[in-house]
Structure 1
Amino acid sequence: MKKIEIMDTTLRDGEQTSGVSFSASEKLTIAKLLLEELKVDRIEIASARVSEGEFQAVKDVTRWASENGFIEKVEVLTFVDKGVSINWMIEAGAKVQNLLTKGSLNHLTHQLKKTPEQHFKEIEDTIALATSKGIETNIYLEDWSNGMRNSKDYVFQFLEFLGSQDVKRIMLPDTLGVLTPNESFAFVKEIKDKYPNLHFDFHAHNDYDLGVANAIEAVKGGADGLHLTINGMGERAGNAPMASTIAVINDFMPSVKIGVNEKVLYTVSKLVENFSGITIPANKPIIGANVFTQTAGIHADGDNKKNLYFSDLMPERFGRTRKYALGKASGKANIQKNLQELGLQLNDEDLKKVTQRIIELGDKKQVVTKEDLPYIISDVLDYDYEEKVTVNTYVLNHAKGLKPSTTVSLTIENDTFEEIAQGDGQFDAFMNAIRSIFKKQKRGILPDLIDYAVRIPPGSRSDALCETIITWKSPEKEFKTRGLDSDQTVSAIKATEKMLNIIIN
């Protein structure tokens, strides 16, 4: 098996994501996780000469790395600048430079306005200076992908020169993310075949969403290392994402060995999400919120029958668990899976009632959570009366400086009535309208409301299902009714509708 080095550049290239700037403490925290927990082979943490804050961040990381045996795994981007970057590195305590050079004749001619020989001489001097100062050198060939397309002779002239220098790794970036998978394979293979004893890293960008595919093809072509970022962070469309690339290598490249610990990919991804402020898309492979959630009932049913919808991409590999969404697409199997996790059991008849209620709620609320289930069960199963009273519709009005008012349409045993009323609040106005209808129709006096409790499942958001429990007292008895909805007032109205049916029955 061939060992492939994984270099994480979240703290350097990933920080070029628009609007992202990690603090020194955040960089140190991420660096520790990457090396100690995720176990990547190397990390690139900064560009030399950027700012005083960057300098302090590098000092903090290198100090920790030196004390814990990781200093040779910490790298800094440097420039051909007559030793200014090297002096910056020495002061910051870094030991490995990733020297940025020109990998295409187009860049060399129009940006530096130099000949290859002039550029090579300056690079040679920079490498010699670094070596004399005890600094190891890796070389970036910026715009290498376009160099291979449009000035291949220059690229090979450059590689021939580098073969004679004190360079540990040559790094081949698809700087603009323009390569196809076929080109990634062919270009790397052509180079590796010609220089089998040199170490080549491949650095993919994701402008065409081909970052993972290009990285994999580069490995097939003979690349010795890959540059990846957590959550695919990076300039423009970002870099090849760590989680997806690692999963593909582990599952589809048996001849390749990597040392990354899959189990903590999700943990590191969430931390970087929090520090960067860049939200992970819910459908992002491996680390997205929804990627191990079955929504369709048929999938949950298949999972119950010999795991028909499982693949090698098991959530436990990444420290995650499979979930079964509850909503309008749910079937009984989805609900049973969630009930099992809660330690609950229902008979077939009750399960049908709960399923129907979840489907109804799913039409109004995108996601019903597992934590909502006990509320739904109590809402559905504590009520067993013939429905003789129906709240058909209502309009709730609440404006600043005006008393709340309600218009209600109510059907009692096939007769429909309407009423308008005001109250101290929207629900109070609704109750006044109901009382007025019952009084006018001589249907009796409504029980007194003596307690009104509202609760939502723990950890829920603002769109959570809301359960309202109302305690009523009539001359004969005291009883409770429950209502469930994502709107608090509506849940109270549903609890009231149950009360009306109880007294009519």
Structure 2
Amino acid sequence: MGKRKLEIMDTTLRDGEQTSGVSFSASEKLTLAKLLLDELKVDRIEIASARVSKGELEAVKQITEWAASENYLDRIEVLTFVDGGISLKWMEEAGAKVQNLLTKGSLNHLTHQLKKTPEQHFSDIAAVFDLAQKQGVTTNVYLEDWSNGMRNSKEYVFQYLDFLATQPIKKLLLPDTLGILTHTETFDYLSEILERYPSFHVDFHGHNDYDLGVANIMEAVKAGCHGLHLTVNGMGERAGNAPMASAVAVINDFLPEVEIAINESSLFKVSKLVSAFTGFGIPANKPIVGDNVFTQTAGIHADGDNKNNLYFNSLLPERFGRKRKYALGKTSGKANIQKNLQELGLTLNDEELKKVTARIIELGDKKEKVTKDDLPYIISDVLDSDTFQQKVFVKSYVLTHSKGLKPSTTVSVELNGKIYEENAQGDGQFDAFMNALRKVYHSEKLELPKLVDYAVRIPPGSNSDALCETIITWQDNNTDFTTRGLDSDQTVSAIKATEKMLNII
């Protein structure tokens, strides 16, 4: 008997983007889509929800254009809704060919959220299938809240699956939407469905609310499911989804009956890039991709190694592409940068490469070396700047900090072609800068958004001359948005993040 092929669907760009405070730009989505399919070798990617926004439509168009040219279009999936065909119109405009239709997998959701009978719901769904077929769109179906459905209204789930068996469905997607399943329930529920409906291709979609995401996907595979939905770094709503890196290691090491196409050695670089694009740091102790997980306490380790590898397991860092750095700095040519990009599995067009090279040279003037670890931050910073038209320029500033005196800042800002200059004091240099900026905006009767969160980080593996990324979350009319700035000086990186905010508002 050959091994059973298990499909991996990555939903970082759709479910992962539902992580609070995360939003990918179109160019970031395209970069990640290419990386996931070409480099990590996932089988399918779910990249967006239909009808979300104009920006989302643009991102999906860019991905489907690229996918069509690579013959990947059937591997690109979009979440859609039972809405009389509005989602399908959106998909047509976006150039997508596979819909993952969100339907109700529990009687509770159906009765209280949709306020419909099962028969009404099924007839609405049948109409969507009909339209999709006419449009040449393949339909997979999500049973939202399926895990609660199995626990509390199993008759409804089977009534619904009996109906779906009469429809042209490609894949059945069974999510533990609220992350409530234990491993035994996962195994039992999926075994029951796979036995009763042997012709369905069944995917399991696990959430991690009790930190059981990986345990549950193990049991789903043992029960015989055909596919798993995972996200890079376990991104996703609430506690997130079952994490890609841990799931892949577990499948490869403990589930010999199945095989997956994932390229293990790319897990780390993809993880780092997603972290840089989202501003979500990876906990140092996160399995496989955390900074500390391959660091042993030296004395004990050396002694144990001498006594027959006492501190050794199958998780070798080399498996996951962890090692080696190339320095980058102001003397880097494009070729050197290309080499580092290749190692990260990234492709940039000439225009983007030029911008990144210019940025590295500029940063190389300020610090001794730029490392490969810095690259995702630099790319994110450069690509991010393309998403708005710059109309506000922080022309110059003087930041003073003297012992016994309050920090003060003088700032010169160009706003709609006019130069303003103000001076202010504050609790720190950045606070003084913001106070001076407020004076400028007040003089024009303009309000600045409220600063709600301020985080600073340096790329892992860097040292005292590291690049510094400041991530600031702002609140404007009750909506939150995030901007990032990159520089070798912490206050300057915060000022750059603020300049981006000024242009966005």
TM over 0.5: yes
Kept in 2, the 8 Å contact 1:292–1:321? The answer is: no
Question: Residue 244 of structure 2 is aligned with which of 231, 242, 245?
Answer: 242
Aligned length: 334
Question: Residue 400 of structure 1 is aligned with which of 403, 406, 409?
Answer: 403
Q: Distance in 2 between matches of 1:120 and 1:401?
A: 73
Equivalent residue letter for 1:63: E
Q: Report matched runs for 1:130-279 at 5 Å.
A: 130-279=132-281
1:408 matched to which residue of 2? none
Question: Residue 26 of structure 1 is aligned with which of 25, 28, 33?
Answer: 28
1:129 matched to which residue of 2? 131
Equivalent residue letter for 1:154: Y
Pairwise CA distance, 1:320: 1.4
Equivalent residue letter for 2:215: A
> For the structure 1 residues 110 and 251, does the alpha-carbon distance in structure 2 shift closer, same or farther, using more than 3 Å as the test?
same
Is the partner of 2:209 in helix, strand or coil?
Answer: coil
Pairwise CA distance, 1:303: 2.3
Pairwise CA distance, 1:309: 1.3
Q: Distance in 2 between matches of 1:112 and 1:232?
A: 29
Pairwise CA distance, 1:313: 1.0
Pairwise CA distance, 1:295: 1.6
Pairwise CA distance, 1:399: 7.5
Is the partner of 1:293 in helix, strand or coil?
Answer: coil
Q: Distance in 2 between matches of 1:8 and 1:127?
A: 24
1:16 matched to which residue of 2? 18
1:119 matched to which residue of 2? 121
Question: Residue 292 of structure 1 is aligned with which of 267, 277, 294?
Answer: 294
User: Does residue 1:73 correspond to 2:65, yes or no?
Assistant: no
Q: Report matched runs for 1:374-389 at 5 Å.
A: none
Q: Distance in 2 between matches of 1:25 and 1:7?
A: 21
Deviations 1:337-391 (A, max 9, x none): xxxxxxxxxxxxxxxxxxxxxxxxxxxxxxxxxxxxxxxxxxxxxxxxxxxxxxx
Equivalent residue letter for 2:86: V
Deviations 1:238-287 (A, max 9, x none): 00000000100000011011111101000100000000000000000000
User: Does residue 1:310 correspond to 2:325, yes or no?
Assistant: no
Pairwise CA distance, 1:299: 1.4
Q: Distance in 1 between matches of 2:87 and 2:220?
A: 30
Equivalent residue letter for 1:99: L
Q: Any gaps of 5 or more consecutive residues in structure 2?
A: 325-400, 406-459, 467-505
Pairwise CA distance, 1:170: 0.5
Q: Distance in 1 between matches of 2:462 and 2:74?
A: 45
2:4 matched to which residue of 1? 2
Pairwise CA distance, 1:400: 2.5
Q: Distance in 1 between matches of 2:15 and 2:116?
A: 26
Pairwise CA distance, 1:33: 0.3
Larger Rg computed on CA atoms: 1
Equivalent residue letter for 2:403: K
Is the partner of 2:302 in helix, strand or coil?
Answer: helix
Equivalent residue letter for 1:400: K
Q: Distance in 1 between matches of 2:160 and 2:461?
A: 58
Question: Residue 84 of structure 2 is aligned with which of 82, 85, 100?
Answer: 82
Q: Distance in 1 between matches of 2:135 and 2:306?
A: 63
Pairwise CA distance, 1:107: 0.4
Q: Report matched runs for 1:309-348 at 5 Å.
A: 309-321=311-323
2:59 matched to which residue of 1? 57
Deviations 1:143-173 (A, max 9, x none): 0000000000000011111111101000000
Equivalent residue letter for 1:108: L
Is the partner of 2:270 in helix, strand or coil?
Answer: helix
2:109 matched to which residue of 1? 107
Q: Distance in 2 between matches of 1:79 and 1:60?
A: 22
> For the structure 1 residues 463 and 56, does the alpha-carbon distance in structure 2 shift closer, same or farther, using more than 3 Å as the test?
closer
Q: Distance in 2 between matches of 1:303 and 1:98?
A: 50
Q: Any gaps of 5 or more consecutive residues in structure 1?
A: 323-397, 403-457, 465-505
2:383 matched to which residue of 1? none
Q: Distance in 1 between matches of 2:259 and 2:231?
A: 19
Q: Distance in 2 between matches of 1:223 and 1:313?
A: 26
Pairwise CA distance, 1:460: 4.9
Q: Distance in 2 between matches of 1:459 and 1:271?
A: 15
Q: Distance in 1 between matches of 2:403 and 2:232?
A: 49
Is the partner of 1:294 in helix, strand or coil?
Answer: coil
Pairwise CA distance, 1:308: 2.5
Q: Distance in 2 between matches of 1:462 and 1:104?
A: 54
1:482 matched to which residue of 2? none
The alignment-based identity, stated in percent, is: 72
TM-score (norm 2): 0.64
Q: Distance in 2 between matches of 1:303 and 1:33?
A: 37
Q: Distance in 2 between matches of 1:459 and 1:163?
A: 53
Pairwise CA distance, 1:222: 1.4
Equivalent residue letter for 2:180: V
Q: Distance in 2 between matches of 1:462 and 1:238?
A: 33
Pairwise CA distance, 1:310: 1.2
Equivalent residue letter for 2:299: G
Q: Distance in 1 between matches of 2:404 and 2:263?
A: 61
Pairwise CA distance, 1:461: 3.1
Kept in 2, the 8 Å contact 1:294–1:300? The answer is: no
Q: Distance in 2 between matches of 1:33 and 1:127?
A: 32
Q: Distance in 1 between matches of 2:302 and 2:190?
A: 43
Is the partner of 2:150 in helix, strand or coil?
Answer: helix
Q: Distance in 1 between matches of 2:97 and 2:462?
A: 48
Kept in 2, the 8 Å contact 1:3–1:257? The answer is: yes
Equivalent residue letter for 1:269: S
> For the structure 1 residues 79 and 401, does the alpha-carbon distance in structure 2 shift closer, same or farther, using more than 3 Å as the test?
closer
Is the partner of 1:185 in helix, strand or coil?
Answer: helix
CA RMSD, aligned part only? 1.9
Pairwise CA distance, 1:88: 0.3
Equivalent residue letter for 2:21: G
Is the partner of 2:140 in helix, strand or coil?
Answer: strand
